[in-house]
Structure 1
């Protein structure tokens, strides 16, 4: 595919040159990372690298291993799931460092880059990867880059509006990361919808691809407490870890139960275990560092499990059949609805925030509520939390629809119907020696031919019987 090679490489190289130029002009090391000998914390234990590097690496594992392998359930899109996650995340990290620096941290014509900004860049990458899940297997890598360019700007702008203008709390990103990424991705998916997305033979999973996806699930589940507590410290991080862990544990337990109850034969469905078991981490994100108590975290995780599991069972087919909204990974169920739940829980928690319960940490978590004299009541703070959620949903949906229209322009060469949910158009030697996509024998065998005696490999779309015959003929 010459068009893919030329356009893709050109956009990537030009983008990288632009990133180098902008960071060269406006970026600099943070005070602790620089060579300033007067920086008293440069070499002592209070340096932020010692406080944040552990959770930074945990978040990295979630972004690159967790998200990447979670999306390998598609039987013919494993390279694309892990490989394009790698590409899109690193691209978003560089781009978001620039965008965040210019929006949040530009001082004296420069913005600082330290370990905290690296964590924030990982968060922006997570936003784009959530959206990627909605269009997994239905877009070219060039289209994904275009999506990342637009989405990072909109998501960081939305976050600035919520944190700096509305002054709300969302430590684990239920609203600004999960809900935004999900509904932005759904907006893009609706624009990119085509008939070939539905009931596509290549969209299914195999036993091995589902096991591969469970690797991503387990990594995400284990490291989610670090994600929700990454940018807070001391008792706030301690609470975030406890609340997230209990919410995840309860979510896992209840997901198994609801999956079994909603199955006609009482069996457990793997799609729910891969995804809905993580919804507790999403739903507790906004309130992770708040005083919701362990029993509250368990309650939030249990509700998230019910919403997410039933979403995969009933909501996903409904959206696809009635609205023609095809959501490959079910991000609406894992990130969208639990993200909204998380925003609502955060608002409820804010209504009970008082100096008597929070002490001195009140001003850290709710600056407007904790100031003297206080310009806000707990009730008005809750109102701002809901306002931030509503604005997030509006910006993400409209932004996703507009971005989808941009991605659909002919200049980006979206995959053909035949190329959907397949690694073959973009990766070399996918079959490990078997025919490539230019060989007619690559085409899946029609069901009637299989029933008539032909054999298929059970997932890779290669007619093994015909290949064997051809090999025998060649040998003779």
Structure 2
């Protein structure tokens, strides 16, 4: 029995993917070079301490995080990895041309690899909203457009709003969440009943998601501290992130049991809220000077993430027909908003008010930075969603949503699948 998926994708997907990869190779050939050997010591320090941990987060963590659908596990993990592999190359190119282009060359070092991986994470977050409803060709287009919008937003923020690089990168959660929601809203306003049946989870698929959550939980302190310049800031970021993650994990299970009629814990709600503390402290982690503030953020982040997953997601589906497959709004968007607002409050509290006009101006810039990433995420997501809705990309029919058989060859005729 042959696949019911459009055969034309057999030509268009390899054609565009290989053309794009060839173009990347040419750009790297003409415009990039490695950093001088004198800085190899930095590589030895940063590779195991930052780059390797972040790679585990995005490859295994986010890959398994999306593997909760019982008939979409292969695509969840493999498409996540494909998107990362493509996105990192494009992010490094854009980062080089926009921020570090000198002497007609882009200097490649361990720092550029970390920035490229973290920038590509924006697409990995967004793709959680569209999970199971787009094909790999659409993901290629989404990767190119989203990373371009994110890099452009970061450039505008750093040059015009005077935002720091680490702060700009920590807004990736709200940007990715709202970009994905906006794109998803344009792509599919409703999920047919025959596809909803395939959206259920199984014990095995839920265990894979738990494994992904644990990978990200373990390595999230590295993610929040990787771009900070001073060792004291890095140390504080690790401590604050760990405290916040610990509290949000306790809150997730407690709230889940408290809201169930029989006092049982919902693994779905735990998945959404366990990481909220790490997201919430990301932007303001270098301003948090005592553990209790990080713990309060972990508590609030876990609470709003849980409540968003339990109540707000259903409201979105009923009112505006927005189907967020991975509930990225509850997992990343709401805690990211909390973190952005916390940064503004802490900046206000710690400011020296001897020059109130300058303090007010700085607070206005910080608020503008958060608003900019949200607005550009929504605008870029809507534009991308409209582009991806064209039939030229051969989108999967609604009946084939959340189904690995639309993309993968199985060694049998899917007996028992």
Q: Please classify the TM superposition score into its range, dividing by the shorter chain length.
A: over 0.9
CA distance in 2, matches of 1:410, 1:42: 49
In structure 1, which of residues 49, 57, 75 is the aligned counterpart of residue 70 of structure 2? Answer: 75
In structure 2, which of residues 242, 245, 248 is the aligned counterpart of residue 245 of structure 1? Answer: 242
Counterpart secondary structure, 1:134: coil
- 2:405 matched to which residue of 1? 424
State the Cα distance separating 1:12 from its structure 2 match: 0.5
For 1:76-475, list aligned pairs within 5 A: 76-169=71-164, 171=166, 176-197=171-192, 200-232=196-228, 233-353=230-350, 377-429=358-410, 432-433=411-412, 435-436=413-414, 460=417
Asked whether the equivalents of residues 168 and 381 of structure 1 are also in contact (C-alpha less than 8 Å), the reply is no
Q: Report the number of matched residues.
A: 409
State the Cα distance separating 1:172 from its structure 2 match: 6.5
CA distance in 1, matches of 2:320, 2:211: 32
Counterpart secondary structure, 1:75: coil
State the Cα distance separating 1:258 from its structure 2 match: 1.2
The alpha-carbon distance between structure 1 residues 94 and 270, as it changes in their structure 2 partners (threshold 3 A), is same
State the Cα distance separating 1:87 from its structure 2 match: 0.2
Counterpart secondary structure, 2:201: coil
The alpha-carbon distance between structure 1 residues 174 and 107, as it changes in their structure 2 partners (threshold 3 A), is closer
Asked whether the equivalents of residues 66 and 217 of structure 1 are also in contact (C-alpha less than 8 Å), the reply is yes
Counterpart secondary structure, 1:377: helix
Query: Greater shift after overlay, 187-196 or 389-398?
Result: 187-196
- 2:3 matched to which residue of 1? none
- 2:44 matched to which residue of 1? 50
State the Cα distance separating 1:171 from its structure 2 match: 3.0
Superposition CA RMSD, Å: 2.0
State the Cα distance separating 1:376 from its structure 2 match: 7.3
Counterpart secondary structure, 1:28: strand
Alignment TM-score, normalising by the size of structure 1 = 0.82
CA distance in 2, matches of 1:3, 1:288: 49
State the Cα distance separating 1:3 from its structure 2 match: 1.3
State the Cα distance separating 1:78 from its structure 2 match: 0.5
Asked whether the equivalents of residues 279 and 335 of structure 2 are also in contact (C-alpha less than 8 Å), the reply is yes
CA distance in 2, matches of 1:218, 1:175: 20
Q: Which sections of structure 1, spanning at least 5 residues, go unmatched?
A: 33-40, 356-368, 437-441, 443-456, 461-476
The alpha-carbon distance between structure 1 residues 379 and 408, as it changes in their structure 2 partners (threshold 3 A), is same
Structure number with higher relative contact order (C-alpha < 8 Å, ≥ 6 residues apart) = 2
Greater Rg over alpha carbons, structure: 1
Asked whether the equivalents of residues 32 and 108 of structure 2 are also in contact (C-alpha less than 8 Å), the reply is yes
Asked whether the equivalents of residues 312 and 330 of structure 1 are also in contact (C-alpha less than 8 Å), the reply is yes
Counterpart secondary structure, 1:220: helix
State the Cα distance separating 1:375 from its structure 2 match: 11
CA distance in 1, matches of 2:274, 2:35: 38
Query: Greater shift after overlay, 164-173 or 402-411?
Result: 164-173
State the Cα distance separating 1:382 from its structure 2 match: 2.2
CA distance in 2, matches of 1:411, 1:140: 12
The structure carrying a bigger helix percent of its residues is 2
- 1:468 matched to which residue of 2? none
State the Cα distance separating 1:22 from its structure 2 match: 1.5
State the Cα distance separating 1:283 from its structure 2 match: 0.7
The alpha-carbon distance between structure 1 residues 84 and 197, as it changes in their structure 2 partners (threshold 3 A), is farther
The alpha-carbon distance between structure 1 residues 309 and 170, as it changes in their structure 2 partners (threshold 3 A), is farther
CA distance in 2, matches of 1:64, 1:378: 41
**Cα shift readout 1:301-343 (whole Å, capped 9, x = no counterpart):** 1000110001110000100111110000000001111111111
State the Cα distance separating 1:175 from its structure 2 match: 5.2
The alpha-carbon distance between structure 1 residues 387 and 7, as it changes in their structure 2 partners (threshold 3 A), is same
Asked whether the equivalents of residues 247 and 301 of structure 1 are also in contact (C-alpha less than 8 Å), the reply is yes
Q: Which sections of structure 2, spanning at least 5 residues, go unmatched?
A: 1-5
State the Cα distance separating 1:30 from its structure 2 match: 1.9
State the Cα distance separating 1:170 from its structure 2 match: 6.7
State the Cα distance separating 1:262 from its structure 2 match: 2.0
Asked whether the equivalents of residues 173 and 228 of structure 1 are also in contact (C-alpha less than 8 Å), the reply is no
State the Cα distance separating 1:275 from its structure 2 match: 2.1
Asked whether the equivalents of residues 292 and 349 of structure 1 are also in contact (C-alpha less than 8 Å), the reply is no
**Cα shift readout 1:148-194 (whole Å, capped 9, x = no counterpart):** 01000000111122223212247366753100000000011101114
State the Cα distance separating 1:293 from its structure 2 match: 1.5
Asked whether the equivalents of residues 172 and 288 of structure 1 are also in contact (C-alpha less than 8 Å), the reply is no
CA distance in 2, matches of 1:427, 1:346: 45
Q: Which runs of 4+ in 1 moved over 4 A?
A: 172-175, 373-376
- 1:7 matched to which residue of 2? 12
